[in-house]
Amino acid sequence: MKNIAIVTGASSGLGKEFVKSLINDKKFDEIFVLARSEDKLNELKNEYGNKIRPYPTDLSDINNIKTFGKYLGKEDINIKLLVNNAGFAKFCSYEDLSIDESLNMINLNISAVVAMGLVCIPFMSKNSHIINIASQAAFQPVPYQNIYSATKSFVKNYSRALNIELKEKGIVVTAVCPGWIKTNLYDRGCINAKKATTNFVHMVTPDVVVKKALKDAYDNKDISVYGLYVNACGILSKLLPEKLIMKIWLSQQKINPEKK
Ligand SMILES: NC(=O)c1ccc[n+]([C@@H]2O[C@H](COP(=O)([O-])OP(=O)(O)OC[C@H]3O[C@@H](n4cnc5c(N)ncnc54)[C@H](OP(=O)(O)O)[C@@H]3O)[C@@H](O)[C@H]2O)c1
């Protein structure tokens, strides 16, 4: 039986960094890497060798995840780690997005996280881990990224509750809540909207977030927050009224919602 890790959204950014950190870990015989870009997944295999198993797929389509579940069923595997990382943001007003774009974000950021967990848990055993990538945006409602922040709140709350339910199986779920990270997220997220996030404060590199996420997961923590600034924001979001937090956010981003 092979011990495997699965990383979604492995073709760039945080996901690629997870692969880099896991590749020399002897716990894993293989790392299954998922994303839409087949060429980039094959590049990972070229770089790291046969330990990488590319599985190109669009995770926003639930049928593809069910198919992946059947694919897993044909393997003799023990899933030691699932990193649910694929996700995207849109920094704009609700009216800048079509219904399809809005719902696609929910499909990838929420439905895929749930479905991937459900298809993988039957192949997990005691001391297996699920890492779900949420965001600092999970701590509060965020105007002009309303869907993104709400999807990440879901991921945080869902993961922490699931972690309790999976205790009887010895499986640990960790919600990772990073602040801004230097990745390709902004290529898809920034669409030159009139009202949008433009002030990306305290941006960090993916390696530090991944290092902390893996440490916290293996320490059996249900939440991982990297950096003083993000931790302080997390605490403030518990102490201050949400209305005030949203006001501070809008002023940080220099957005006046009442101005046309
Ligand atoms: N960057 C930040 O500031 C930040 C902060 C907090 C949380 N996060 C979270 O971190 C996670 C990783 O994002 P990132 O910052 O590393 O951005 P990124 O560089 O854009 O990476 C996103 C990954 O998701 C994959 N992906 C996108 N749509 C997909 C789909 N429909 N099906 C399968 N895979 C898909 C992309 O691959 P393909 O395009 O090849 O499909 C890519 O590998 C996301 O969940 C994001 O919300 C990021």
Question: Under CATH, which number does the domain 2-252 receive?
Answer: 3.40.50.720
pLDDT, average across residues 48-57: 98
Q: What is the mean pLDDT of the chain?
A: 97
Mean pLDDT for the stretch of residues 119-144 = 98
33 Cβ contact list (under 8 Å, min separation 6): 7, 10, 11, 15, 19, 41, 44, 52, 53, 54, 55
Per-residue pLDDT tens over the stretch 84-120: 999 999 999 999 999 999 999 999 999 999 999 999 9
Instruction: List pLDDT tens digits, range 201-235.
Output: 999 999 999 999 999 999 999 999 999 999 999 99
User: Chain-centre distance of CA 215, in angstroms?
Assistant: 16
Whether the per-residue pLDDT at 193 is higher than 90: the answer is yes
Annotated catalytic residue: which of 55, 144, 148, 226? 148
For the CA of 60, the nearest atom of ligand 1: 31
Flag whether pLDDT at 174 surpasses 90. Answer: yes
pLDDT of residue 129: 98
Are 40 and 232 in contact, with CB atoms under 8 Å apart? no
From the CA of 58, give the closest atom in ligand 1.
32
pLDDT of residue 260 exceeding 90, the answer is no
In this predicted structure, the answer to whether residue 121 has a pLDDT above a threshold of 90 is: yes
pLDDT score for 210: 98
Residues in contact with ligand 1 by the CB-under-6-Å rule are 9-15, 35-37, 40, 58-60, 85-89, 108, 133, 135, 178, 180-181, 183-185
